[in-house]
Structures are given as structure tokens and as C-alpha cells.
Amino acid sequence: MANCFSIGIDDKAGLFPIASRFNHSCHPRDNIEYTFDADSETLEMVVKVDTILAGDELTISYGTRRTPIDLYYRFGFKCCCGACPGLKKGETDYIW
């Protein structure tokens, strides 16, 4: 399932509508950290920067070991975060 978060219990995941709105960056500014609290069944997100200016984008990583092609096939988007090389021409010509 795309747009879900691991909850740290076996292979289970949860869908959290607000958290799902954050865009991906291969190297986020380390500005958002999230954990799942199993007792309260909530996803806790903490912004870790002192100053957030108007227009600053808060991003998260959809997986630190994912390549741009993995992101495309798993989540259906072409990464253009600027921190990675992105997709090469022709890499998305064949879908599954």
C-alpha cells in the first residue's frame, strides 16, 4: 500500500491522512521525525528545527534505502527532490 507508514509491529502499516501529505526527499532536512505509539495507536510527528520560515517545505524520507526507480514503482512518482540523480531516460518505459 502506498502512502502508509510502518508502525513497527511485524509488517503492519497504518494510513495517517495528515502525515501522508508530506512530500518525499531522498535527503530530507532532518526536520521531521515520526514514531508510532502502539498504546495510543497514534503516529507522533515532531518537527526538529528551531525556525521554520514561511514557504519552507517540511519533507520526510519514504525510505532511506530506496532508489528513484524504487520510489517510482512503489509509490508512483518521479523523484525530483534535487538530492538524488532522479530517473534516467527510459527507466519508466516498462511498468511491471
pLDDT of residue 64: 65
13 Cβ neighbours under 8 A, 6+ residues apart: 1, 4, 5, 6, 7
Classify residue 74: in a domain, yes or no.
no
- Structural domains of the chain, count: 1
Chain segment 4-25, per-residue pLDDT in tens: 777 777 877 777 877 778 888 8
Answer yes or no: pTM beyond 0.75: no
CATH number at residue 10: 2.170.270.10
Classify residue 77: in a domain, yes or no.
no
Classify residue 26: in a domain, yes or no.
yes
pLDDT truncated to tens, each residue of the chain (96 aa)?
A: 567 777 777 877 777 877 778 888 887 666 677 788 888 888 888 777 777 788 888 888 776 677 888 888 878 888 888 778 778 777 776 655
Give the domain extent around 14: 5-65
